[in-house]
């Protein structure tokens, strides 16, 4: 059996979950501008296979590249890093203070 190469894994935010078993995920990255040297945010949208329709808008997810699943779907869901409604836990901050 042929061994797989290294998987491409990305982390992004779910921007749409309207199609059945599919979600759109925006992945941001920071790039240094070639001429001006300023850091610029670039983003790309990935179509992710979500077989159980468990993703909601605003969720942070980890996805991996896979074989083509449809015309535009090339990524599959690995895990949900953080739910959209949950606040990011910052160390040293407690509620009620």
What is the DSSP track for 9-66? EEEEEEEE--STTEEEEEEEEEEE-TTT--EEEEEEEEEEE-TT----TT-EEEEEE-
For the domain spanning 9-82, the CATH number is 2.40.50.140
Residues 21-73 pLDDT 10s: 999 999 999 999 999 999 999 999 999 999 999 999 999 999 999 999 999 99
Question: What is the pLDDT averaged over residues 72-92?
Answer: 79
- pLDDT reading at 81 higher than 90: yes
CA distance 66 to 10: 12
Residues 7-21 pLDDT 10s: 899 999 999 999 999
Going by pLDDT thresholds of 50, 70 and 90, the confidence category of residue 97 is very low
Domain assignments of the chain as residue spans, ordered by start: 9-82
């Amino acid at each position: 059996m042929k061994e797989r190469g290294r998987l491409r894994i990305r982390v992004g935010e779910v921007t749409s979950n309207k199609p059945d078993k599919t979600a759109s995920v925006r992945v941001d990255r920071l790039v240094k501008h070639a001429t001006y040297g300023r850091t610029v945010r670039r983003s790309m949208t990935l179509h992710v296979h979500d077989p159980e329709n468990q993703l909601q808008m605003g969720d942070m997810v980890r996805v991996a590249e896979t074989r083509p699943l449809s015309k535009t779907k090339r990524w599959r869901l690995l895990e949900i890093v953080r739910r959209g409604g949950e606040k990011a836990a910052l160390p040293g901050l407690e509620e009620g203070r």
